[in-house]
Amino acid sequence: MTAVSVIIPVFNGASTIAETLESVVSQTFQDIEIIVINDGSTDETLAVLSQFADPRIRVFSYENAGSSQARNHGIKKAIGEFITFIDADDLWSADKVELQLKALENEPDAGVAYSWTTFMDEAGCVLYHQTPAYDEGDIYPALLVKNFMCSGSNILARRSAITATGEFDTHLSSVVDWEYYLRLAAHYRFALVKKHQIFYRKSSTSISGNLPQVEANSVEVINRAFQQAPQHLQSLKRQSLSELYFYLARQYVRYDHGRENVVTALQKMRQAVRENPQLLLQRQVQKLFAKLLILRVIPQSKTDFLLNAEQHQSTAATPQEPASPSTKAI
């Protein structure tokens, strides 16, 4: 039996799928099958895929139904003892599969392994590194508060855990990975690889446009999760909502410095503090609140200048940033 099944959902990914596949076929652990689910692509995706002669790659085409359904198709095709996923525009470090497998071998009671994430822009340049999360074992309480696994390109899981957890939710258009990880974490222990191995590509246009949908889907996932969570974890719900609103406040002014976005970011900050007043004790929260208040009163031209300068500085320094929901469109 093949050890690891790698599932890659792709829709119109001609510009990035080759680089993603290269990062998969170049893994130091080679006993893998690569299942590419073409989700009704209308660009040159299939032509790009045809250039790969690696016999481990199998391509299946379906009518467009979204990446969640594509992952579900991939699970049904997988024959590996372990299963992992990567989006068609993300990348892995060469030792991703090897080290996650070793983590599960060292933790036989764990069903899932995960690593840390580095965020890239559309050109593949590093934006920032995720602030490391050190949760392992029973991560369910921490994962209820925020998705520190960041994307759908992270985990490697035992086939038995995937089978028992079931399919990805096809009704959500974002944060699908978080919802799935929560179901996994409710029943399985997680092993941690303490290394940035996932390279997650962010799109400035898609992120800003998706934020209202991200909020709606995130609130739905939070409500659903806490309906299932045990009583002793119910107190974490307000903290979870607070983390969500703080994340949204940051994102509203990360790429778009318009006055409307500044006002919306302030509203999200107020919601975050209302759910968890202790948030105001955090330095990063104080800094963002102060920046938003300043941006609220200065002219638009100076707003753009200041935020562009700050973004350039932070990109050059590749700072670390707290984990956040995945915002890719499905």
- Shared domain check, 112 and 229: no
Burial of 98 (0-12, 13-18, 19+ CB in 10 A): middle
Q: What is d(CA 260, CA 263) in angstroms, rounded to the nearest whole number?
A: 5
- Shared domain check, 16 and 79: yes
Cβ atoms of 187 and 229 within 8 Å: the answer is no
- Shared domain check, 159 and 296: no
- Shared domain check, 211 and 198: no
Residue 329 lies in a domain: no
Residue 127: CATH number of its domain: 3.90.550.10
CA proximity to 107, closest of 28, 193, 29: 193
DSSP state of 280: G
Domain that holds residue 313: 205-321
Residue after which a domain boundary falls, among 172, 203, 234: 203
Q: pLDDT (tens digit, 9 = 90+) per residue, 119-141?
A: 999 999 999 999 999 999 999 99
Q: What is d(CA 311, CA 320) in angstroms, rounded to the nearest whole number?
A: 13
Q: Terminal CA-to-CA distance of the chain, rounded, Å?
A: 31
- Shared domain check, 263 and 274: yes
Residue 328 lies in a domain: no
- Shared domain check, 61 and 155: yes
Q: Can you give the pLDDT of all 330 residues of the chain as single tens digits?
A: 789 999 999 999 999 999 999 999 999 999 999 999 999 999 999 999 999 999 999 999 999 999 999 999 999 999 999 999 999 999 999 999 999 999 999 999 999 999 999 999 999 999 999 999 999 999 999 999 999 999 999 999 999 999 999 999 999 999 999 999 999 999 999 999 999 999 999 876 555 568 999 999 999 999 999 999 999 999 999 999 999 999 999 988 876 667 788 889 999 999 999 999 998 888 888 888 888 888 777 755 555 555 555 555 444 445 566 666 666 655
- Give the chain's domain count: 2
Q: What is d(CA 228, CA 86) in angstroms, rounded to the nearest whole number?
A: 28
- Shared domain check, 195 and 61: yes
Residue after which a domain boundary falls, among 203, 233, 263: 203
Q: What is d(CA 309, CA 145) in angstroms, rounded to the nearest whole number?
A: 32
DSSP state of 108: T
- Shared domain check, 266 and 131: no
pTM exceeding the 0.85 threshold for the entire prediction: yes
Residue 133 lies in a domain: yes
Residue 65 lies in a domain: yes
